[in-house]
C-alpha cells in the first residue's frame, strides 16, 4: 500500500498516477508492506534500484547510505513485546519516503492530524523525519524500564529464597539484552552521522533536533550496557547465595551424622550376639544406655557450639 501527501496550500492526498505532476513539491510518501509495483512508482523520484529493492525487504541491521539526491536510513524500534520493528527512511531535498511492515501509531497519527503534518512539511521533510524517528527511539524507553523491573524482581526473589526459575529467567533476559545491544549500538552510530555531520538533506535547524535523538539513543545504549553488568553481578550473587545455602545444609547434615556416630557405635556394640557383656544383665542397663546417649549428644553439641560450628 502506498499513500502520498503533498504540501500545496495545505495537505493534499494524491494518487500514484499524479506523482510525476507534483515532483518538486514537498511531499511525504508512505509505504506499508510495499510490493514491487509500489516501489516502482518511486522511479519518478529518481530513487536507485537498490534502494527500491531494500524498501521491499526487511533488513537485519541499521544502515545509512548517501546518494546524490537523497539519503537512505534504516532504523529500528521495539514493539510491546520487545520484537524488533524496522522503518526505512529516504530523505531528499523536498520529499520523505518511509517504508514499514508494521502499523506504527506514531506514523498513523499524521494520517489523522493533517495540520500537524502540514506544520512539519512547511519546516521541511527533515523535520518530519526527525519527528517520526524520535517516536521510534522513544519507544525503547518503556521496554528498557520493563527489563530493569524484571531484573529488580529477580534480585528480590534471590534474597527472598524464591529461586524457582531464576537461572532460566536470567538467561532469557541476557538474550534479550544482547539482541537489543546489537541493534541500538549500530543504530546509535548511524544517528550520530545524521546529527553531527553536515548533510545537504538535513538543515542546520533540523540538525539540532537530530542531536536530541542522538542523546536519547546514547541513553538507551548506556542503559543496555548497564544491564549486562547487572546481569553478571546478579548471576554471581545468585551463585554465591546458592553455594552458601548448600554449605549450610551440608554443615547441618554433617553435624547430625557426627552426632549419631557415637550412638550408632554404642548401640552396635551392645547389639552383638554375645552372652557375656558388661552390664548386659543389669536391670537398669537400658536406662543407663539412654542416659549415656543423652550425655554423649550433649557433650558433642557443647563442643560444636564452642567451636562456632553452629
- Counting Cβ atoms within 10 Å, is residue 276 exposed (0-12), middle (13-18) or buried (19+)? exposed
Separation of alpha carbons 2 and 76, rounded Å: 21
Per-residue pLDDT, averaged over 178-192, amounts to 89
Cβ(184)–Cβ(217) under 8 Å?
Answer: yes
Q: What is the mean pLDDT of residues 183-204?
A: 88
The predicted structure's pLDDT at residue 289 = 72
Average pLDDT, the chain: 83
Q: What are the structural domain ranges in the chain? A: 2-241, 270-307
What's the length of the chain? Answer: 310
Model pLDDT, residue 162: 67
> What per-residue confidence (pLDDT) applies to 273?
62
Burial class (CB in 10 A: 0-12, 13-18, 19+), 180: buried
Fold of 2-241: Beta Polymerase; domain 2 (3.30.460)
**98-126 exposure pattern, b = at least 16 Cβ within 10 A, e = fewer:** bbbbeebebbeebeeeeeebbebbebbbb
Average pLDDT score over residue span 272-287: 65
pTM of the model: 0.75
What is the per-residue pLDDT across 283-295, written as a single tens digit (0 to 9) for each?
666 676 778 778 8
pLDDT band per the 50, 70, 90 thresholds, residue 298: confident
Specify which residues 6 forms β-bridges with.
12, 27
pLDDT for the residue numbered 281: 64
Residue 155, C-alpha cell as written in the block: 534480585
54-75 pLDDT per residue, tens: 888 887 678 899 999 999 999 9
- Tens of pLDDT along 104-118? 877 877 777 778 888
CA distance 310 to 301: 9
Indicate the pLDDT class of residue 270, thresholds 50, 70 and 90: low
Amino acid at each position: 500500500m502506498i499513500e502520498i501527501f503533498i504540501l500545496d496550500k495545505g495537505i493534499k492526498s494524491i494518487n500514484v498516477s499524479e506523482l510525476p505532476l507534483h515532483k518538486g513539491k514537498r511531499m511525504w510518501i508512505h509505504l506499508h508492506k510495499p510490493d514491487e509495483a509500489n516501489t516502482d512508482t518511486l522511479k519518478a523520484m529518481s530513487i536507485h534500484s537498490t534502494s527500491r529493492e531494500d524498501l521491499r525487504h526487511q533488513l537485519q541491521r541499521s544502515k545509512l547510505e548517501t546518494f546524490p539526491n537523497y539519503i537512505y536510513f534504516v532504523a529500528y524500534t521495539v514493539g510491546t513485546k520487545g520484537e524488533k520493528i524496522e522503518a526505512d527512511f529516504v530523505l531528499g531535498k523536498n520529499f520523505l519516503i518511509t517504508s514499514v511492515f508494521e502499523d506504527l501509531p506514531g506514523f498513523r497519527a499524521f494520517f489523522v492530524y493533517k495540520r500537524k503534518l502540514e506544520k512539519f512539511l512547511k519546516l521541511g521533510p527533515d523535520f518530519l523525519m526527525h519527528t517520526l524517528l524520535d517516536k521510534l527511539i522513544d519507544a525503547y524507553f518503556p521496554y528498557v524500564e520493563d527489563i530493569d523491573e524484571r531484573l529488580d524482581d529477580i534480585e528480590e526473589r534471590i534474597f527472598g529464597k524464591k529461586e524457582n526459575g531464576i537461572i532460566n529467567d536470567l538467561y532469557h533476559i541476557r538474550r534479550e539484552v544482547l539482541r537489543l545491544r546489537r541493534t541500538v549500538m549500530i543504530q546509535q552510530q548511524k544517528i550520530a552521522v545524521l546529527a553531527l555531520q553536515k548533510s545537504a538533506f538535513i538543515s542546520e535547524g533540523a540538525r539540532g533536533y537530530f542531536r536530541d535523538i542522538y542523546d536519547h539513543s546514547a541513553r538507551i545504549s548506556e542503559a543496555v550496557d548497564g544491564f549486562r553488568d547487572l546481569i553478571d553481578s546478579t548471576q554471581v550473587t545468585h551463585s554465591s547465595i546458592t553455594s552458601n545455602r548448600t554449605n549450610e545444609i551440608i554443615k547441618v547434615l554433617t553435624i547430625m551424622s557426627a552426632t549419631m556416630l557415637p550412638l550408632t557405635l554404642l548401640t552396635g556394640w551392645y547389639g552383638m550376639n554375645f552372652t557375656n557383656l558388661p552390664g548386659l544383665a543389669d536391670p537398669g542397663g537400658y536406662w543407663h544406655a539412654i542416659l549415656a546417649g543423652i550425655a554423649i549428644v550433649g557433650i558433642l553439641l557443647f563442643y560444636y557450639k564452642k567451636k562456632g560450628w553452629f
